[in-house]
Amino acid sequence: MPRTRALRATPLALACALTLAGPAVARAQQVASAGGAALARGRTLFDAQCARCHGIEGTGGVGPSLQRPVLGRAPNDTALATLIATGIDDRGMPGAWQLSPNEVSMLVAYVRSLGNRPPEVAPGDAARGEALFRGRGGCLACHVVRGTGGVIGPELSNVGAARGVAYLRRALRDPGAELPAGPGISYAGSEHVRYLLVRAVPMSGPPITGIRVNEDAFTIQVRDTGGAIHSLEKRRLRALEKLFHASLMPSAGPAYTNTEIDDIVSYLMTLRGGA
Amino acid sequence: MTRTARTLALVLSATIATASPLAAQVPFSRLAAAERDSANWLTYSGSYSGQRFSRLAQVNRTNVAALRPVWLHQLQNTQFMAEATPLVADGVMYVSETMSAVTALDVRTGRTLWRYAPTIPPTTKWIGFLPTSRGVALLDSTVYLATINAHLIALDARSGTVRWDVEVADNKLGYAFTLAPLAIKGKILVGVSGGEAGIRGFIDAYDATTGKLAWRFHTIPGSGEPGNETWGGDSWKTGGGPTWLTGAFDPELNTVYWGVGNPGPDWNGDSRPGDNLYTCSLVALDADTGKLKWHFQFTPHDTHDWDANQIPVLVDATVNGARRKLVLTANRNAFYYALDRVTGEFIGGRDYAKQTWSTGLDATGKAQVIPGKEPSDSGTLVWPSLQGATNWNSPAYSPRTNLFYVNAREMGSYYYKREAEYEPGNPFMGGGERALENDSASGAVRALEPLTGKMRWEFRHHSPPWAGLMATAGGLVFSGSNEGNFFALDASTGKALWQFQTGGFIRAAPITYMVDGKQRVAIVSNNAVIVFALP
């Protein structure tokens, strides 16, 4: 009867993960020394369940790159096994409750092997990127970095730790391609697309275009481009359009060269937390 | 008589005149006639039929828009979200909390009369679910509580003191209780959770007075018993078959109807070749002996965790000109079934929510399986998700509209097959899922024709719902949402007539009853009991 994703703190993660982590560590050490077939199995599991966010071979995507010798949240194998089993609630990483302790151990060994590779190199010049970000790009109009900026788009103060190069490059070129998903603001019932662009047409008055802040079956709260919140009752709307593959952010594609985009990505990769 | 004495006498007589007993006296005869006792809510599903229908009509289509909160009670255990259906009897509300606590409230004011919280050892296991408690049972003057550490406890309804406490099964092996027990004549019935821990499921009946075991029905037949041949090797010993939701009861047929959950390991069926009886089935048992009368298996050899534990709904209807006694169920596998409850014969059914694993039901009600939908190493995308097209959230049936109401969930999932090795008291699952959440997942309250499952109307949810339903003679269907909306729909059309933002996730089912001649409606939202009435 698992009800695994009904809660962000998944019951199976709660129930099983702690059980899994202990035995998994001892086995991970065996797997690491054994190598070969177990590592290959770890890779198969990774490709099936982790690569969607962390990228094939852990190059990063929606989730951060794992090609780093030290993982901030998982300094040792015990922490890594626990993290894989329980997930990271506030980052949208689910716990791998599907895996047996043996399988978690193989995954731990594989993820550790990724850390032995050369780290992902940010492709451009971070200083030039910051100048573009703050100057011509005007990115702070919508994004907060270290306490300064607008609230139309997501805060970027930790984006370098949370995302990989490939994701950021794509997000700059095609901002609507993959909107971030996460738990709703007030309720952890299920994940919804964040920063969804919506167009609401009231029975009377002008249409409202903006970002969905929250929604239920009866109401929707929209932040318009000016930052104002509109509280709307669905029964008083003539139409409600949800633009799943669009974004208020303009594409950097036409206005910036490939080098400039790489510079901005390099700057973003330096943003790793802190106010 | 002095003025003071006179005043005192007047006050006393007034008090006596309005005082209710503040302790339940609920003999079996009252439970058997609970449909007619609309002022109270005496058993988990409102009556033995499981219809969750109330004859109260004071709150109705024309005035429900004025419904307002009367009181709110915050439960004390708040680490997990409550999923309880409160009971109401003779002025007292009995509501269970997570971690198996029970609180008795003055139904007029919401003030606490007593609270019982058993000692739950920190080593207690709940493998594959949360330590919720969906409710209690009442019989005579006793409250029955089934706990997360697999005890059945009888409490004095007046005070919450323990009358008896029996350990039903070994929690160290993963056996646990989350359900409201079912009180029938002289017996208390319970079913176990633990389908992700390799338990061997059962339904137990205990003597209501002494706590002595009256009978046990194993959901997986033992060696040499009919049905055991549907399990390869020794796989039946750890085959799951949990019974974690409350069944229905037909006193006339003296038959108990109970849903059975998944086989174990859940997502890797290699070690258990065969149909795996009686997992993912509805069983009809003799209430005196626990002997099997018939069974109907919805999902043979399940590998998607599509438990059949949903509340069975007993309805009498005319089928091809003849009166038939039916049992209706909307299954987690996304199909609706109407069965003859005397024989188990399939009457009708169809899918009621998005599913991609079957081409449909044949004339006997067997789902025709599309090959290649099994969990796999790299993940197989199938609708519904392992949480199913519905789950513990109670359905409802209204004899006034002759419609069956279900909160349907529509969400796809990648199913993975993984290793499974049985170790006592540990997860035994062999895989799992990655659900497609986001805005592609949704759900709806759906009204189905009872004989066919054909949809008459729907009300769309924002996300796949977890709340139960209740239908009333006021022409209303009440339910809740993950986003906190508690709402009423027109039972004939599905039109929303009222909603209240409760500020918490609703995972429980509504109830209704009378206080001082006025109808009240109650729901548990997150860990608050909220009661509504007309102004």
In total, chain B counts a number of residues equal to 535
Whether A104 is in a domain gets the answer yes
pLDDT tens, position by position, B456-495: 999 999 999 999 999 999 999 999 999 999 999 999 999 9
**Phi, psi dihedral angles at B4 (to 5 degrees):** -65, -45
- B71 forms beta bridges with B531
* Inter-chain residue contact B379 with A48, CB threshold 8 Å: yes
* Inter-chain residue contact A192 with B438, CB threshold 8 Å: yes
Question: What mean pLDDT value characterizes chain B?
Answer: 95
Classify residue B448 as exposed, middle or buried by CB count within 10 Å of its CB (0-12, 13-18, 19+). Answer: buried
* Inter-chain residue contact A15 with B482, CB threshold 8 Å: no
Q: How many CB atoms lie within 10 A of CB B165?
A: 14
Chain A residue whose CA is closest to B438: A192
Residue B305 annotated as catalytic: yes
Query: Which is the catalytic residue, given B90, B250, B275, B305?
Result: B305
Cα atoms in the 13 Å half-sphere on the side-chain side of B20: 19
Residues of B in contact with A7 (CB under 8 A): 81, 130
Is the bond into B265 cis (omega within 30 degrees of 0)?
Answer: yes
Q: Is the model's pLDDT at A3 over the cut of 50?
A: no
Q: Tell the residue number behind the tokens 């109970």, with chain if given.
A: B258
Classify residue B299 as exposed, middle or buried by CB count within 10 Å of its CB (0-12, 13-18, 19+). Answer: buried
Write out the E strands in A155-249: 181-183, 191-193, 197-202, 208-215, 219-224, 229-233, 237-243
pLDDT tens, position by position, B261-289: 999 999 999 999 999 999 999 999 999 99
* Inter-chain residue contact B438 with A181, CB threshold 8 Å: yes
Q: Domain count of chain A? A: 2
Whether A52 is in a domain gets the answer yes
Evaluate whether B264 touches B195 at the Cβ level (below 8 Å). yes
* Inter-chain residue contact A20 with B427, CB threshold 8 Å: yes
> In the listed set A97, A115, A133, which residue is the last one of a domain according to the structure?
A115
* Inter-chain residue contact A48 with B431, CB threshold 8 Å: no
**Phi, psi dihedral angles at A119 (to 5 degrees):** -65, 155
> In the listed set A115, A134, A155, which residue is the last one of a domain according to the structure?
A115
* Inter-chain residue contact A3 with B462, CB threshold 8 Å: no
Q: Is A151 on the interface with B (CB under 8 A)?
A: no
What is the residue extent of each domain of chain B?
38-533
Q: Is the model's pLDDT at B97 over the cut of 80?
A: yes
| CATH number where A76 lies | 1.10.760.10
**Confidence band (pLDDT; 50, 70, 90) for A115?**
confident
Whether A130 is in a domain gets the answer no
Chain A residue whose CA is closest to B435: A5
Whether A175 is in a domain gets the answer no
pLDDT tens, position by position, B417-432: 998 999 999 999 999 8
Whether A270 is in a domain gets the answer no
Among B443, B89, B464, B401, CA closest to A184: B464
Q: Is A253 on the interface with B (CB under 8 A)?
A: no
Task: Establish, for the pair of chains A and B, how many residue pairs have beta carbons separated by less than 8 Å.
Answer: 155
Give this prediction's pTM.
0.90
List of residues 6+ apart from A28 with CB closer than 8 A: A77, A80, A81, A104, A105, A106, A108, A109, A112
Q: Is A270 on the interface with B (CB under 8 A)?
A: no
Residues of B in contact with A16 (CB under 8 A): 127-128, 427
Residues of B in contact with A19 (CB under 8 A): 426-427
pLDDT of residue A10: 40
User: What ipTM, to 2 d.p.?
Assistant: 0.88
Q: Who has greater pLDDT, B407 or A94?
A: B407
**Confidence band (pLDDT; 50, 70, 90) for A254?**
confident
Whether A144 is in a domain gets the answer no
| CATH number where A208 lies | 2.30.30
Cα A152 from chain centre: 17
Residue A40's domain comprises: 11-115
Indicate whether A15 and A111 sit together in one domain.
Answer: yes
Residues of B in contact with A93 (CB under 8 A): none
Most confident of A106-110, A190-194, B93-97: B93-97
Provide CATH code, domain B38-533.
2.140.10.10
Residues of B in contact with A1 (CB under 8 A): 128-129, 193, 195-196, 242, 244, 261-262, 305, 307, 309, 391-392
Region B242-258 average pLDDT: 98
